[in-house]
Homo-oligomer: A and B are copies of this chain.
Amino acid sequence: MLQTITINTREHSEMIDITSLIDQEVSKSGIKDGICLLFVPHTTAGITINESADPSVRLDMQTVLGKLVPWKDSYRHLEGNSAAHIKSSIIGSSVMAIIESGRLKLGTWQGIFFCEFDGPRSRRLHMKLQ
């Protein structure tokens, strides 16, 4: 099962909680047990799994990533968004999750976050279940 989800980001840098969206799609697919590959087909965005309860965690993460990979630096890439590309490779462009009894098997505090590093943009996310 392969499908593509559209995600509209609103900020320049942002982590959007897509856990319930993905869980819903997994439920609808009818697949009871397997793995779920979430793949971001962009080079200035990423995806990660982290705490969903306190939104401060995402803010702290964006702040630290912004310090580690400053937006302005002596980059060669002329589009000016090298920082977004680099964050994308540090965080990663895909995550894997386990499907059990038709649901995502995440930890109590875990959520899935689409990471925008050069928005706002209309983004896509591929979901492959098997």
Interface residues of A (CB under 8 A from B): 2, 33-35, 37, 39-43, 48-51, 54, 56-57, 59-61, 64-65, 68-69, 73, 75-79, 82, 85-86, 88-98, 100, 105-110, 124, 126, 128, 130
Contact = CB atoms under 8 A, between A and B. Distances in A.
Main secondary structure of the interface of A (DSSP, over half): mixed
A108 B43 CA distance: 9
B93 A90 contact: no
Nearest to A127: B98
A78 B92 CA distance: 27
Contacts of A82: 56-57, 60-61, 64
A60 B77 contact: yes
